[in-house]
Amino acid sequence: MPGVVGTPLERVDGRAKVTGAATYTADHRFPDLAHAVLVTSAIAQGRVASVDAAAAEAVPGVLAVLTHENSPRLRGRLGRDADDNHAIQALQDAAVRYADQPVAVVVAETLEQAREGARRLVLVYEATDVQIAFDPVRGRSFRPRHAGYAKPDTARGGARTALERSPVRLEHVYTTPRQTPNSMEPHATIAMWEGDGARQLTLYDATQGLFDCRRRVAKIFGLRESAVRVISPYLGGGFGSKGPVWSHVIIAALAAKHVGRPVKLVLERLQMFGPVGWRGRTRQEVALGAERDGTLNAIQHHTLGETSTYDAFMEACGLASRMLYASRTSATTHRLVRSTIATPSYARAPGWAPGTFALECAMDELAWALAMDPVELRLRNHAEMDPDSGHPWSSKHLRECYRIGASRFGWHRRAPQPGSWREHGWRIGWGMATSVYPTHRSDASALARLHDDGTLVVETGSQDLGTGTYTILTQIAADALGTSAGRVVVRIGDTHLPESPMSGGSQTAASAGSAVHEAVCALRAELTRLAIGDPASPLHQVPAESACVEDGRIFDSRVFGKGESFESLLTRQGRESVEKRADSAPGSETKRYAMYAFGAQFAEVRVDPELGVVRVSRMVGVFDIGRALNARTARSQLLGGMVWGIGLALTEDTVIDGRLGRCVTANLADYHVPVEADVPDLDVSWIGAPDERANPVGAKGLGELGITGAPAAIANAVFHATGRRVRDLPITLDKLL
């Protein structure tokens, strides 16, 4: 039977989703379920001076109005915790730290009643001045504890001296805007307390990290972790913003405790802007020094990011500059400036998406200064080992990505002179850039159970963001046992299952997938042991190395037809099922190899010379992703990343009024995500070489790789079309007129 890993198997949960059988967080129904509406602050800095809840409480059906004045007190720490969860505002004091901070919650029998109660709640504020500062001179910056879990600053060789001595050098500032994840499913939580004294808390939560959520909530409420259960069978997107535990989760649990009933709280679209994180603005100073033949002597990358007045989060933009090219010297720093905003947070490819924009635009500018082809410049500085760590790559096929991508795009036809191509009145430009993202893996556990009817059940407490986790785990399990995908049942999305890490950092396949693989392999070994030791089995006393599994059977590979089905083996053994558990973890390979996924992206843009309108007309992306566990979902993930890249390059900008500290683009009418008319037919492919050194399933992770490089490829194409270099994203028409 041919393996199913790598094939474009249709999503095993697809039918449930299109028929409405899939239950997302807000879809769960319970008797006596109450509805909550969050009230957020009308100022950005100050305090709630007074509360008048009389009119709100008078609305028929309203059960409670909770503010800092009457909310139950919490035992645990609400500030940033050891797992780097952000600080939480959960109605514990009158302070207002940012615009649209949760300041009250109204609970009612129906959603409409809760909304009316929220509308009638009267809050009086005492406002103080806001500071939306992002000036590296006047702003007081500070060094964060870390940058993307790495050191904030690095220096290899004397980069400043090497830069000054280089015959060709450039130094520019690149900026990127705030980018707000807008998943189709908003953040949502259903909380219910059960047991004696209501000491057992169950949360149905739209979360990317079930067990992280359980740990944080247990600490805050002073509970044992086992007293908190988190369930999330389906997730309608997250893109990083559903990784941390945010204030609304705690507030939902507080409200449920107060009214003694299950409470559902779903954020409105407006409330997706700020209270649950966004990608912070960055200002990046990049300097490159090179010989006239293009050999890099120095890379300097200094990042200034923004954070809130009460917390710290760094968009670690300099990480790619430490490892991507074989520069003789390098230096990177990361600094933060505090502003009266909500704390920025994880967004798809945090640090790497804006960081590769700056680095790859600078490389394009260097290629122009050298009169060298941009692909040739990158090949000339291709790093044969990680310049940052000195380790060899676990695998690297970036040269092939450049070669194949250039061929598919037709790069050899590119005229080097900017502004030289026109078609039907449009200026045509071609640009390219490198994609890169680290390969992560965390501890994960899984259980595999084979039933006597031949059904294989695998369980792990992971979550499916919509990326296809159910499907790829099905494929991994089927291949490991030698059975069909149709006989595999995957159970995820519950902390009652074996623990797996959060779905972030493109690590789910490598982590949960490896655990499932190892659990099923252990199950296969147990079935082999049972068959070999059973005098009634055709495989009795067959050497273990000769026992194979395929098509739901275990057989002797030396003798055609000698074997039996899993069902017959278990039935004869009198067993309803056999199960094995595996605890999978990274090993010494993390200290011996540098592990990254790579890619090359090529973009064509059309620019209206009179209006400055930019249209992406085609893109080609070729990626080095290790083993693609499912060709269909792999392509979907890379496509999604490239679309995010179009948004970062051309349309997305979370604008905050500098006087009031309030977001003025807090809806999808003003915050422009790319829609179908903005996205051309994207050509996506990959090398297909498994990385067996990285993890047991050979996958590198690809959910975030596609956005890296894409904005730079587009920006470089705009320069090629117009001769005008735009270093401040998004590239809007006013910057080209």
Selection from 252, 272, 270, 274 nearest residue 261 by Cα: 252
- 680-698 in b/e burial notation, b at 16+ Cβ within 10 A? eebbbbbbebbbebbbbbb
The count of other CB atoms within 10 Å of the CB of residue 16 is: 15
Strand 614-624 versus strand 444-451 pairing type: unpaired
Selection from 560, 512, 563, 524 nearest residue 542 by Cα: 563
Catalytic residue chosen out of the listed positions 116, 185, 306, 704 = 704
The count of other CB atoms within 10 Å of the CB of residue 546 is: 15
The count of other CB atoms within 10 Å of the CB of residue 399 is: 14
For 603, the token pair is 């973009």
| Residue count (the chain) | 737
DSSP 47-78: EEEEEE-HHHHTSTTEEEEE-TTTSPPP-S--
Three-state secondary structure call for residue 296: strand
Residue at token pair 């780097």? 84
For residue 611, how far is the Cα from the chain centroid?
A: 35
CB 433 within 8 A of CB 712: yes
Helix axes 710-722, 631-650, angle to 10 degrees: 50
Based on its alpha-carbon atoms, the radius of gyration of the chain, rounded to whole angstroms, reads: 27
DSSP state of 280: P
End-to-end CA distance of the chain: 61
Give 30's contacts (C-beta < 8 A, 6+ positions apart).
190, 192, 262
CB 281 within 8 A of CB 178: yes
Give 455's contacts (C-beta < 8 A, 6+ positions apart).
487, 488, 489
**Residue 109 annotated among the catalytic residues of the structure:** no
Q: Which helix (H) or strand (E) holds 537?
A: none
Q: Find the DSSP H helices in 50-170.
A: 54-57, 111-120, 159-165
Residue at token pair 């400036």? 337
CB 518 within 8 A of CB 696: yes
Residue type, position 500, single letter: S
Angle (CA) 44-49-53 rounded to 5° is 105
Residues with catalytic roles:
704
